[in-house]
Chain A
Amino acid sequence: MTFRTLCVAAAFATIIGESAVADEASVVLKDAPGRDVVEQNCGSCHSLDYIRMNSPFLSAKLWEAEVGKMINAYGAPIEPADAKSIIDYLARNYGAPG
């Protein structure tokens, strides 16, 4: 175990991360094709208000970069086909107009 892993493991506290917070039920994304793929993938790590607050100013290209960051920097295990669905959904429903 690395030094750091040992320290975090030694922190007795219960980690609550994976379970959704009760109030999140109020965060409802637009009902459109691909929403379920977004909910299942993105919702594992964070509430979906991250998407809503980051709208509607990102172009398709910038949404693609954001999803890429989730996969490459944060290690999100998203299949390429799902990544495409997610990007399309975000660009269409939460993207910059035009």
Chain B
Amino acid sequence: MLKRRHVLQGIAGAATLGPLGALAAASRPPLADGLPEGVYDSAALEALPGKKPLIKLSYRPPNYETPLAYFDEVFTPNDAFFVRYHLAGIPDAIDAATWKIRVGGDGATSALDLTLADLKSGFEPVEVAAVCQCSGNRRGFSEPHVPGVQWGIGAMGNARWKGARLKDVLAKLGLRKEAVEIIVNGADGPVLDKTPDFIKSIPLWKALEETTLVAYEMNGQPLPHFNGFPVRLVVPGWTATYWMKHLVSIEATAKPYDGFWMKSAYRIPVGKFPIVEHFQTQLTERTEPITEMVVNSIITAPRQNARLGADSPIDIRGLAWDGGYGIHRVEVSLDDGKTWRDADLGRDHGRFAFRPWSIRLAAKPGTYRILARASNAVGQTQADALIFNPAGYHNNVMRPVTITVS
């Protein structure tokens, strides 16, 4: 049963539900098939302050995903962007004027505090269009199911991120030649002292890439509160675990960071996935940290179980993305993969952004399972079968849409 969340101060705009209008007024969140049964009872369509109604998977800490309808647009609106927190100690309303990021560490030659004003005026602003996707997006479809947040398709979004280059901030700081990683921490934290705080590190070489940003804007606006206001790290191509929200600390270190959220969490079996960029200072014999996203796609039209007339061709549309090598092709099949046709690739917003694609196909009356398969410029293709892992990461198996033509 839907609990209509009381909208605080009218921010969430209950009067303007957007593409979900009718759905939100109904009661069931638009969930895909194939999730654990418990999700269908427990999920709800709810609006956090400043957000449209999203699919609530957990209240505390908040984990809310974006409904499929919003992926009809290649840039995900800020107020529909998914929300994910690990720990329930999330900051309340933040005063940007007093925000400070402490920058330093034993891998640095100095230390400094950065305010938001410092970031905006002291460094050249750059803007990068990039997909932010949770490492566990689509975990809910794992077979067998695995424990964790049971995301459907919506723990992802594409935005134009604007901020200072992290490399420019580090250049101002000064780095020792011994520096190997950059450790980042945000203002959110655990309820219990003993719970490890959510702290991540990235390799120095990744921190120094032109596209790694200390970001303060998303799609031309300040970051929504629940997406990390006022400042977050943006690591295009890599999964969102590194995109630290409510950034308060940037620390250069001469030794690999060994906190829980690097050493024990967010790790994948070595050799199991086609990965190009590895986090060398964090490898063990059996596991390595998750790094870049795997190539993937989603069909946004037609919708699941659509009934279409045979008198006109079917317009099939969707999005494709990968870890930043560039989408090379998207193929579509109506006959369970016996034959494939190349879709047209739409506007290229940059190698880290969603790439739209479309194809128009004639189909005789019948039931069809539409398959879309994306490939990238380094020869990687979506998986035919799930690459199972107990953490439910990197789910890029093709997701069919079933339709009837009559």
Contacts and interface: CB of A to CB of B under 8 A. Distances in A.
A31 interface: no
A74 B194 contact: yes
Given A11-B246, A13-B93, A21-B60, A53 B38 contact: yes
B58 A49 contact: yes
Interface stretch (A32-40, A54-62, A81-89): A54-62
B3 to A, nearest CB: 5
- Which interface class (under 10, 10 to 19, 20 to 34, 35 or more) fits B? 35 or more
Contacts of A44: 191-192
B34 to A, nearest CB: 12
Contacts of A1: none
B405 interface: no
A8 B92 contact: no
A8 B187 contact: yes
A44 B95 CA distance: 28
Given A7-B249, A8-B248, A62-B147, A13 B58 contact: no
Given A46-B60, A53-B43, A15 B196 contact: no
Given A16-B91, A56-B38, A58-B147, 15 more contacts: A3-B104, A11-B91, A12-B95, A14-B92, A16-B92, A18-B88, A20-B60, A21-B62, A24-B59, A27-B59, A53-B57, A54-B147, A54-B148, A73-B264, A76-B194
- 5 closest Cβ contacts across the A-B interface? A75-B194, A17-B89, A13-B91, A55-B38, A52-B42
Interface of B: 1, 3, 5-6, 36-39, 41-44, 46, 56-62, 87-95, 98-100, 102, 104-105, 144-145, 147-150, 185, 187, 189-197, 199, 246, 248-249, 251, 260, 264
